[in-house]
Structure 1
Amino acid sequence: MESPIVMSLIGPDRPGLVELIASTVKAAGGNWLESRMCNLGGQFAGILRVSPSEGRREELLAAVASLQDKGISLVVKDAEEDSDGGCHEVATIEIVGHDRPGIVSQISNAFAQRSVNVEELNTECRSAPMSGEALFEARARVCIPSDCDVSDLRSDLELIAADLMVDVSFESD
C-alpha cells in the first residue's frame, strides 16, 4: 500500500468544486480518507488525506496538481504516521465572548507555554442575539502532554478569560 498524501487547497467557492476534487482523486486511483473543508469569505478551503492505489502515486500527484489549472491553489505533502505526539490527555476548550483582537493569540500562547498541542480549532464571529454586537466563539481540541499540570493550565485559561472578559470552558474527553 502506498503511503497517503495530505493536500491543502483553496479556491473561489462555486458549486461542484468538491465533486471536481473528488472525481480527480478517484480517476487517478486515489482513495479519499478524511477531510475538513469549508467556505470562508467566499473562498473554499480544505485539507484532505488521500491514499494512492498501488503503483499510481505519481499519477495521483499529477492529477491533483492539474487542479491548479482550474483556479485551485494546492500544497501537497507526504502524510506522516499518526502519533499521539506525547499526548497524555485530550480536552475540549470552548471560548465565548464579545469579539476583540487578541483572543486567539492569548489562548494559543497559554497552550504553547505548556506545550499543549492544538489538534483542531474552529472559530466564528456572529451577531449576539439581543445586542447584535460581534460575538466570538471558539472550540479547540487540544492534546495535553504528561508533563503539563492540567490544573495550572485551567488556571491560566481562567486568568485569560477574566482579562479578556470571555467565558472559557474546559472539558476532558
Structure 2
Amino acid sequence: MLKHILISVISNDKPGVVEAIAETVSDNGGNWLESSLSQLAGKFAGVIRVSVSPEQQEQLQSALSQLIEHGIWIKTEHIDADSAPKSDTTNAYIHALGPDRSGIVRELSRALAQHKINMAYLETALTSMPYSGDPLFDATGQLELPEGVDIPQLHDILDEIANNLALDLSLSETPFE
C-alpha cells in the first residue's frame, strides 16, 4: 500500500524550484499527486501531496531535506491516503471585494468558524480601485457547509460583515469566475 506525504515548501522565487522538487520526487520513487503553489512577495511557497512505496519513503524524505542546500526549505508530514474529511458537507463559494483595511479576513473567518463552516480554499489579492488608485481587497474562497446550515442566516451574517467593512460580499452555490 502506498504512503502519502504532504510536502510544504518555501524558497526564494527563482526558476527551477518546481523542477528541483519534481525531479527529487520522481528520482526517489514518488508520484506527484496534487499541489497548490504560488509566488508571494518574491518568495515561492506551496503544498504538494505525493505518494511513495513504504520501502522508498525514508529515501524520498531524506532527498527532499537535502534541497535546503539549494535554498529550498522543505517540511514533510505523513498523511493517510484517505484523510479527506468524510462528512456531509455542501460546497459554497464566497467572493469579497472592497476597500482594503485591517481585519477583513479575521472577521470573515471568525463568522464562518462560529457556524462550523470550514474554509477549504481562500485566495486574496490587493489591487487598486479604478480612478482613485486606493487599495482594493479582493478575496475568493470555497466553503464547506455542514449539514443543516441555515443559508438565510448565513447570508444575514455575511451582510452584516459586508456592511461593517464596506465590502461587496457574495455567496454562491457555484464557483466565481
TM-score, scaled to structure 1: 0.95
CA distance, structure 2, for counterparts of residue 84 and residue 91 of structure 1: 16
CA distance, structure 1, for counterparts of residue 13 and residue 132 of structure 2: 31
1:162 is matched with 163
Instruction: Please list every run of 5 or more consecutive structure 2 residues that lacks an aligned counterpart in the other structure.
Output: none
CA distance, structure 2, for counterparts of residue 25 and residue 115 of structure 1: 36
CA distance, structure 1, for counterparts of residue 71 and residue 141 of structure 2: 31
Instruction: Please list every run of 5 or more consecutive structure 1 residues that lacks an aligned counterpart in the other structure.
Output: none
**Contact 2:17-2:72 at 8 Å conserved across structures:** no
Q: Report 1:64-143 matches (<5 A).
A: 64-80=64-80, 81-143=82-144
Shift of 1:84: 3.5
**Contact 2:5-2:49 at 8 Å conserved across structures:** yes
Shift of 1:152: 1.1
Deviates more, 1:144-153 or 1:114-123: 144-153
CA RMSD in angstroms, aligned pairs only: 1.3
CA distance, structure 2, for counterparts of residue 119 and residue 139 of structure 1: 11
1:34 paired with 2:38, answer no
Identity of aligned residues (%): 38
Shift of 1:13: 0.7
1:152 paired with 2:153, answer yes
**Contact 1:87-1:143 at 8 Å conserved across structures:** no
Alignment: residue pair count: 173
TM-score, scaled to structure 2: 0.93
2:6 is matched with 6
**Contact 1:6-1:48 at 8 Å conserved across structures:** yes
